[in-house]
Chains A and B, each alone.
Chain A
Amino acid sequence: MLELEDIVRTFRVADRDATILRGITLRVGKREVVSIMGGSGSGKTTFMNIVGLLDKPTSGRYRIDGQDVLTADADRLSGLRNQLIGFVFQSLFLMPRLNVWRNVALPLFYRRTPLPEAKAQALAMLERVGLAAYADYMPNQVSGGMRQRVAIARALVGRPAVLLADEPTGALDVQAGQDIMDLFMQINRDLGVLIMIITHDPNIAAQCRRQLVLRAGVLVDETHLAAA
C-alpha cells in the first residue's frame, strides 16, 4: 500500500540546514495498524506530513499503490488527500463556526457530494463514533474526547484507505484515550483502514500490531521487542 524509500527531509532554518529525517524506508500494507513513537522533536509530525502528502521530502521515493505521488501538483495532491487519507491532527482542528455534522461532512463538501447525501454519510459516521446525538452541537459545546471523535469521524467520512493520527490521545485521560484506541481498532476491523498512530504513550503503542520508533532521524521497527 504505502512504500517509502530513503526519505530525507531537511529544513533550512536561519541559514543552517537541519536534517530531521535521514533516510527512512518503510512499507506498510493495507489494514495494518502501526504506531510511531519518538522523543519530542524527533520528526514524527514531519514524517506523518510526508506520508499524508502534505509535505514533500527533500529526497526519496514515495509510492501509494504502486503509483508515484511525489510528481503530483498541489491540486492533484489535494485530490489524493481527499480520496485516500484521513487526518486526525495533533492539535485539534475543528471549524469553530460549523456544527458537529458539518465539520464531519467537510471533506465530502470538497468532493462536491450533494448536501443531503453528505449529511447522511456524516451522520452515519457520527453514529459509528458514538456521537449521533451531538450532530447539531457546536464544537465548543462538546468535551475534548468528543471533539477528538468528531475529528476521527471527519477523517473517516470520505472512506480513506489510510488514517493518520498525530497523538490522538495526547490531551485525553487514560480512560478516554483507551476509548479512542478501541474505536481505532474497531474501525480497522470494520472498514479495513490502514491506521498510523503517533503517540508518546507506550500502552497505546503496545496495542498496535506494528510498533516503530523514530530515533536520530531513522525509523526502527521494535515490534519484536514488545512481542518478546
Chain B
Amino acid sequence: MLEAAGNLLAARQRSALALVGILIGAAAVIAMLNVGGIARNETIRQFRAMGTDVMTITVSSRSSNAVGLKRADVEAIPAVIPAVAEITPFVTGGGMVAFGTTSHNATFAGVAPEFDDVVRLTMQSGRFISFHDDYEAYCVLGARLASSLGGRGERPRVNAKIRVGAYIFTVIGIAAPAVQNPMLPLSVDDTMFVSLPNARRVMPGQIMGAAVGRLAPNASAEKADLALQAYLNPKLRDAYLNVQTARQLIAGMASQMHIYTLLLGAVGTLSLVLGGVGVMNIMLVSVAERKQEIGIRLAIGARRRDIRALFLSEAVILAVAGGLLGIVFGLAASWGFAWLSDWEFVLSPEAAPLGAGVSVLVGIFFGFYPAVSASRLDPIEALRAE
C-alpha cells in the first residue's frame, strides 16, 4: 500500500489530473445528497411550528374598487366546507410605527381573535388580541419589531404606547420569535397586530385580502381548494382568489429538489466517469512505463494476482484521494449553499460513506483493465522492455 502511494506521488502531475475529475464527481454527489438533506430539514423545520395542514387564501385585486373577503363569509367556511377545520381572515399592510423617539417600518396585520390559535403563535409576554378588544386601541408586536423599537434599556413592553400616524396603540403583548412560514403573506416577527376594526384606521382602504386556516384531518387539499374557489369567488368583485396548502407547497418543493438532485447527479456521474477514464489512462501509462519492474517482480515470484493487486491498489488510492477531497469540497459547497439561503446546515449521515464508496468503486472499475493487462505480461517481454 505504501509502495503504491509512493509510486503515485512520483507521477504527481498526471495523478493530479485524474484526481480532479474524481474530486468534482464525488463533490457533486456529496453536495447533491447533502443539499437535499438540508432542504428536507428546512422544510420540516418550517412546517414543524405550524404543521402541514396549514392553508392560506390570498386575494389579489384587479382594480381600486375591488371587494375582498368578508369576515362573516370566511368565518362561515368550516360550516359550509367540511374539508376546512378552521379559518380566520386578516388584512395586511404596512407603515411606520413610532415608540418614544424611535420609529421603524412595520408590517400591519388586522386579525380576528382566533389568529394566534390558527397560526400557533406563542407569546413572549402579555396576551394576544381577544374578543373583547375589537374596539380597543390595543396592539401586539412581533419579536423583531419589538426589539428594533426604542433605545437601549427602554424597549417597548406591555402597556407601552405605540404611535401609528395619528393613533396611539397600547401594547398588550409581545409575540415570541417564530420560524418564518413560507405560506404566510407576512413575517410574524416584523408585524404589529391590531384588531380587524382597528385595521381600517391604520390601513384605510385596504381590502381584506388574506385568510389562514387548517384542513380537516385526512381532507384532500385539492378538493378543499376547489370548494373554496366555488364558495368565495362569487363573493369577490374585481379580485381573484389564490388558495395555497402546505401539502401542495411541500410537494412543489420536493419536485423542484428532485430536479436539482437529478441535475447534480448527472454532473456527478459524468465527472466520475471522466475521472475514472483519467485514472485508467494514468494506470495504463504507468503499466507501460514500469514493465521492467513488473518483470522483476514476476521473476522474484510475484503471482499474477500480486501484480494485479499492486496496480489496482494504486488506482483505488488515486480514486479515494480524489474522493476524500471531493467529500470535503462537496460538504463545503453544501455548507455554502445553506449559508447563502440562510438555512440550517445538517450533515447527511450517508453522504461521506457514499462518496468514499463511490470513489473506491470507480477506482476498482477503471483500474481493473490496466491492472489485469499488467498481470498478463509475459515475464521475458516485461524484462526486455526499455
Task: Report if A154-B6 is in contact (Cβ < 8 Å); known contacts: A54-B380, A89-B383.
Answer: no
The stretch among A27-35, A64-72, A104-112, A176-184 that forms the contact with chain B is A104-112
Task: Report if A110-B303 is in contact (Cβ < 8 Å); known contacts: A78-B298, A97-B6, A97-B10.
Answer: yes
Q: For B293, what are the chain A residues with a Cβ–Cβ distance below 8 Å?
A: 93, 95
B3 interface neighbour in A97, A107, A110, Cβ under 8 Å = A97
Task: Report if A75-B304 is in contact (Cβ < 8 Å); known contacts: A54-B379, A97-B6.
Answer: yes
Least Cβ–Cβ distance between B384 and chain A, in angstroms: 9
A55 interface neighbour in B7, B10, B380, Cβ under 8 Å = B380
Q: For B6, what are the chain A residues with a Cβ–Cβ distance below 8 Å?
A: 97
Are A81's CB and B10's CB within 8 A?
Answer: no
Are A81's CB and B301's CB within 8 A?
Answer: yes
Least Cβ–Cβ distance between A88 and chain B, in angstroms: 11
Could you tell me the distance between the alpha carbons of A172 and B305 in the complex, rounded to whole angstroms? 36
Chain A 49-70 residues near chain B, CB threshold 8 A: 49, 52, 54-55
Q: Residue A79 at the B interface, CB < 8 A?
A: yes
Are A93's CB and B380's CB within 8 A?
Answer: no
Q: Which of B7, B10, B299 has the most CB of A within 10 A?
A: B299
Q: Residue A188 at the B interface, CB < 8 A?
A: no
Q: For B298, what are the chain A residues with a Cβ–Cβ distance below 8 Å?
A: 54, 78, 81
Task: Report if A89-B296 is in contact (Cβ < 8 Å); known contacts: A54-B380, A55-B380, A97-B6.
Answer: yes
Q: Residue A87 at the B interface, CB < 8 A?
A: yes
Task: Report if A78-B10 is in contact (Cβ < 8 Å); known contacts: A54-B380, A54-B383.
Answer: no
Could you tell me the distance between the alpha carbons of A54 and B252 in the complex, rounded to whole angstroms? 68
Least Cβ–Cβ distance between B374 and chain A, in angstroms: 13
Could you tell me the distance between the alpha carbons of A59 and B380 in the complex, rounded to whole angstroms? 17
Are B303's CB and A75's CB within 8 A?
Answer: yes
Q: Residue A133 at the B interface, CB < 8 A?
A: no
A70-106 CB contact bits vs B (8 Å, 1 = yes)? 0000110011011100010100010101100000001
Q: Residue B300 at the A interface, CB < 8 A?
A: yes
Q: Residue A168 at the B interface, CB < 8 A?
A: no
Q: Residue A139 at the B interface, CB < 8 A?
A: no
Could you tell me the distance between the alpha carbons of A83 and B301 in the complex, rounded to whole angstroms? 8
Q: Residue B127 at the A interface, CB < 8 A?
A: no
The B contact surface, by secondary structure, is helix
B306 interface neighbour in A52, A55, A110, Cβ under 8 Å = A110
Task: Report if A98-B300 is in contact (Cβ < 8 Å); known contacts: A54-B383, A93-B292, A110-B306.
Answer: no
Task: Report if A78-B380 is in contact (Cβ < 8 Å); known contacts: A98-B3, A110-B306.
Answer: no
B224-259 CB contact bits vs A (8 Å, 1 = yes)? 000000000000000000000000000000000000
Could you tell me the distance between the alpha carbons of A82 and B380 in the complex, rounded to whole angstroms? 16
Q: Residue B297 at the A interface, CB < 8 A?
A: yes
A78 interface neighbour in B292, B295, B302, B383, Cβ under 8 Å = B302
Could you tell me the distance between the alpha carbons of A110 and B302 in the complex, rounded to whole angstroms? 5
Task: Report if A106-B297 is in contact (Cβ < 8 Å); known contacts: A49-B380, A55-B380, A97-B3.
Answer: yes
B1-18 CB contact bits vs A (8 Å, 1 = yes)? 001001100100000000
Q: For A43, what are the chain B residues with a Cβ–Cβ distance below 8 Å?
A: none
A148-164 CB contact bits vs B (8 Å, 1 = yes)? 00000010001000000
Are B300's CB and A81's CB within 8 A?
Answer: yes
Task: Report if A79-B383 is in contact (Cβ < 8 Å); known contacts: A93-B292, A97-B6.
Answer: no
Task: Report if A54-B304 is in contact (Cβ < 8 Å); known contacts: A89-B383, A95-B293, A97-B10.
Answer: no
Q: For A158, what are the chain B residues with a Cβ–Cβ distance below 8 Å?
A: 301
B301 interface neighbour in A49, A79, A89, A93, Cβ under 8 Å = A79
Could you tell me the distance between the alpha carbons of A52 and B299 in the complex, rounded to whole angstroms? 8
Chain B 273-324 residues near chain A, CB threshold 8 A: 292-293, 295-306
Q: Which residue of A lies closest to B305 (CB)?
A: A75
Q: For A98, what are the chain B residues with a Cβ–Cβ distance below 8 Å?
A: 3
Least Cβ–Cβ distance between B382 and chain A, in angstroms: 9
Least Cβ–Cβ distance between A139 and chain B, in angstroms: 12
Could you list 15 examples of A-B contacts with CB < 8 Å?
A54-B298, A54-B299, A55-B380, A74-B303, A75-B305, A78-B302, A87-B299, A89-B299, A95-B3, A95-B293, A97-B6, A97-B10, A107-B300, A110-B300, A154-B300
Which B residues are closer than 8 A to A by beta carbons? 3, 6-7, 10, 292-293, 295-306, 379-380, 383
Which A residues are closer than 8 A to B by beta carbons? 49, 52, 54-55, 74-75, 78-79, 81-83, 87, 89, 93, 95, 97-98, 106-107, 110-111, 154, 158
14 additional A-B pairs beyond A75-B304, A110-B303, A158-B301, beta carbons within 8 Å, are A54-B379, A54-B383, A74-B303, A75-B305, A78-B301, A79-B303, A87-B299, A89-B299, A93-B295, A93-B296, A97-B6, A98-B3, A106-B297, A111-B301
